[in-house]
């Protein structure tokens, strides 16, 4: 690899050629150690964005990013390991319920999660609204907690696929994020490095997802499933609808509250339904014979949740942060909620302070939107549609403008578009199934 140069690697991909394994290994290692300059890697990323990568190239790129840091060894744990990854949604608090539920069913769930950026909320931001809870665990603490409790949600350690962290920031700055090879390698390098033997992907599709078209979402799912196979991890995917927010709550503390409702045996039907669908698939992959619906009803998942929170310094009995200001948006007419645009709701929650525009931005734990009426619900003029929560009232006007176009109300007698399917397809190996 001594004869390789950045310009030769860039030129190969610029001209539509396939990068060799040696070129990929060299480029990732040289960029990570500073030998390849930012502008050179930016040029390579743009060439990949424009010309794509073969399955072999994607697998090797992923392998090189994994090899840039540490790979967690979970082989000594006494039960099968299975993780879940969502490509990002609106009101997506599923991990908060799913991790303790699947752990209570008998699997081990090692979830290293992230913080939100842009319109999608981050699992760690939600968890950090719990007083005392800490996201950072040393790898040794992480493994001990998995052994003792069965599940953990924490931040990825700095030595886990560090090349991906640097590359993601550069992709964001060079408008090359929306590349299926790069998205797949980014997600899978971190998940594989975290050590699970099985992984279920929740690939979102719709107005509130990064992938708005089912075809692109399906391609992404197949690419990640193939990457798992290339690295010895069993992977399957559920394509799920993200045109309407999941549940009623969109934010941080407010989503934790809704997740607790589900763990207590209640909560919105769509959140419960998707949680159980993902749990079934995780248990199938891990070959654990359990009924997640029965375990949820028994209260065992709540017990595991409390143990997880306590293990990371949190107080499961403490009150969640409350907003300083609450405002409601009401319906302008009688009828029935026909559509509720996930992206518009996400933007409103973001403006209220629940999300960040840059990685270094702070978030408000109490900020968010509660959707008081969902598609199919009848409404009357003046009835509340949304509850806006924030600590900074000067943000309310902008959020209200977003919500003004978020909902459509149809006359009560018109046919409804509310009967959506949450799980659009299940993808295992090479074949999608309904």
The mean pLDDT values, 10 residues at a time, for the chain of 434 residues are: 84 96 95 92 95 95 94 94 94 96 98 76 91 95 96 91 87 86 93 95 92 92 94 96 96 97 97 98 97 98 98 97 96 94 94 80 91 94 96 94 93 70 88 44
Q: The sheet that has 234-241: what strands, in order across it?
A: 82-86, 198-205, 234-241, 423-428, 431-433
SS3 91: coil
Give the architecture (CATH level 2) of 325-410: Alpha-Beta Complex (3.90)
Active-site residue (options: 25, 83, 92, 164): 164
Are 82-317+423-433 and 325-410 in the same CATH fold?
no
Q: What is the pLDDT of residue 192?
A: 94
pTM of the full predicted structure?
0.92
**Cβ contact 346:108 at 8 Å:** no
DSSP letters, 161-219, are: SHHHHHHHHHHHHTT----HHHHHHHHHHHHHHT--SEEEEEEEESTTSS--SHHHHHH
CATH code for residues 6-52:
1.20.970.10
Active-site residue (options: 63, 171, 336, 351): 171
DSSP letters, 48-67, are: HHHH---HHHHHHHHHHHHH
Task: From 10, 40, 6, 42, select the one nearest 26 (Cα to Cα).
Answer: 6
Q: What is the pLDDT of residue 434?
A: 38
- Rounded-to-integer distance, Cα 393 and Cα 380, Å: 27
CB within 8 Å of 256: residues ≥ 6 apart: 93, 96, 126, 127, 129, 130, 320
Is 186 among the catalytic positions?
yes
Is 85 among the catalytic positions?
yes
Active-site residue (options: 63, 84, 85, 222): 85
Active-site residue (options: 86, 95, 184, 186): 186
Task: From 207, 145, 219, select the one nearest 406 (Cα to Cα).
Answer: 207
82-317+423-433: in CATH 3.40.1030.10: yes
- Rounded-to-integer distance, Cα 107 and Cα 83, Å: 10
Q: What sign has the CA pseudo-torsion 25, 28, 34, 38? A: positive
Is 171 among the catalytic positions?
yes
Q: What is the pLDDT of residue 359?
A: 67
Q: What is the pLDDT of residue 86?
A: 94
SS3 84: strand
Active-site residue (options: 63, 115, 119, 190): 190
Q: What is the pLDDT of residue 303?
A: 98
Which residue ranges make up each domain of the chain? 6-52, 82-317+423-433, 325-410
Q: What is the pLDDT of residue 209?
A: 86
Is 231 among the catalytic positions?
no
Strand partners, 328: 387
- Rounded-to-integer distance, Cα 333 and Cα 382, Å: 7
């Amino acid at each position: 690899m001594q004869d390789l140069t950045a310009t030769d690697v860039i030129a190969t991909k610029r001209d539509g050629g396939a990068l060799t394994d040696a070129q990929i290994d060299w480029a990732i290692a040289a960029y990570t150690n500073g030998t390849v300059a930012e502008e050179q890697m930016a040029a390579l990323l743009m060439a990949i964005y424009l010309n794509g990568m073969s399955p072999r190239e994607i697998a090797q790129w992923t392998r090189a990013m994994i090899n840039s840091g540490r790979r967690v060894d979970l082989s000594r744990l006494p039960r099968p390991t299975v993780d879940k990854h969502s490509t990002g949604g609106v009101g997506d608090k599923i991990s908060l319920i799913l991790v303790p539920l699947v752990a209570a069913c008998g699997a081990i769930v090692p979830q290293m999660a992230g913080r939100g950026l842009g319109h999608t909320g981050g699992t760690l931001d939600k968890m950090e609204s719990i007083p005392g809870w800490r996201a950072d665990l040393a790898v040794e603490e992480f493994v001990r907690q998995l052994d003792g409790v069965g599940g953990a949600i924490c931040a990825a350690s700095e030595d886990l696929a560090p090349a991906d962290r640097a590359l993601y920031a550069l992709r964001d700055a060079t408008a090359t994020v929306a590349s299926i090879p790069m998205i797949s390698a980014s997600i899978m390098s971190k998940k594989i490095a975290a050590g699970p033997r099985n992984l279920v992907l929740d690939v979102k599709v719709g107005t509130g997802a990064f992938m708005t078209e089912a075809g692109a979402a399906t391609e992404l799912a197949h690419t990640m499933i193939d990457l798992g196979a290339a690295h010895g991890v069993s992977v399957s995917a559920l394509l799920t609808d993200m045109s309407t927010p999941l549940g009623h709550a969109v934010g941080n503390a407010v989503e934790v509250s809704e997740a607790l409702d589900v763990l207590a045996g209640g909560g919105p039907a769509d959140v419960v339904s998707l949680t159980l669908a993902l749990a079934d698939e995780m248990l199938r992959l891990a070959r654990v014979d359990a009924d997640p619906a029965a375990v949820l009803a028994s209260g065992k998942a709540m017990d595991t949740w409390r143990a997880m929170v306590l293990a990371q310094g949190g107080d499961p009995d403490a009150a969640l942060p409350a907003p300083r200001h609450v405002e409601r948006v009401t319906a302008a007419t009688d009828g029935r909620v026909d559509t509720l645009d996930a992206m518009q709701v996400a933007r409103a929650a973001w403006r209220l302070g629940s999300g960040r525009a840059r990685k270094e931005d702070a978030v408000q734990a109490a900020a968010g939107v509660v959707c008081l009426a969902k598609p199919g619900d009848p409404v009357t003029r003046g009835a509340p549609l949304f509850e806006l929560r924030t600590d900074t009232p000067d943000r309310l006007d902008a959020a209200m403008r977003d919500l003004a176009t978020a909902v459509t109300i149809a006359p009560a007698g018109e046919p409804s578009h509310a009967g959506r399917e949450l799980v659009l397809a299940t993808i295992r190996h090479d074949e999608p199934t309904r």
